[in-house]
Amino acid sequence: MAAEDEMEKVWSLVKRIGVAMLTSDDDGVLRSRPMAHAQKNFDGTLWFFTRAGSHKVSELQQDQRVCVSYAEPDRQDYVSLSGTARLVRDAAEVDARWTESARVWFPQGKDDPDLALLRVDVTQAEYWDAPNSTMLHVYGYAKARLTGEAPRPGGHEKVTVA
């Protein structure tokens, strides 16, 4: 698959799933929290609204490496993105990415003094997408029982982003 097609596949899964778990290092302890991306397209960078004073921001000042994971088990779709994150305090970027649904977390809107963006520059992406039909699962079970080998339906790719 061409690199552009791989990136489009990653974005199609991310966009559909919507909410990720962002994992960062809290002084040797890995911590994850749910985050919804704030963008309409993917060019190798993920954007999330955050509070500038949040604990995750202080974690990222110590270690910028993060993992952003998306999962939709009912469809057997999974995405893992690795990269580096940094805080962005730019009113133009906030304005460009703002949607009214963000007001749930930021009741003061775009003028909230603690509102910021978390920019994740993705370096590696990996995805798994398997057909989720019952017949394929029955086939997979039968193959495993009869041959002792796991089936490999669907796709699995590692994508170098940057």
Token look-up 């997408």 returns: 129
Token look-up 């993992």 returns: 67
User: Containing domain of residue 23, as a range?
Assistant: 3-160
Is the model's pTM score more than 0.85? no
CATH number for the domain spanning 113: value is 2.30.110.10
Predicted pLDDT of residue 135: 44
Return d(Cα 25, Cα 15) in angstroms, integer: 25
Give the pairing type, strands 65-72 and 77-88.
antiparallel
CB distance 154 to 77 below 8 Å: no
Exposure on the CB side of residue 65, measured as CA atoms within 13 A = 6
Return d(Cα 9, Cα 21) in angstroms, integer: 19
Return d(Cα 143, Cα 64) in angstroms, integer: 43
Q: How do residues 20-77 score in pLDDT, each as one tens digit?
A: 999 999 999 999 999 999 999 999 999 999 999 999 999 999 999 999 999 999 888 9
Which amino acid, one-letter code, is at 89? R
Strand partners, 125: 81, 159
Per the structure, how many domains does the chain have? 1
Return d(Cα 42, Cα 12) in angstroms, integer: 9
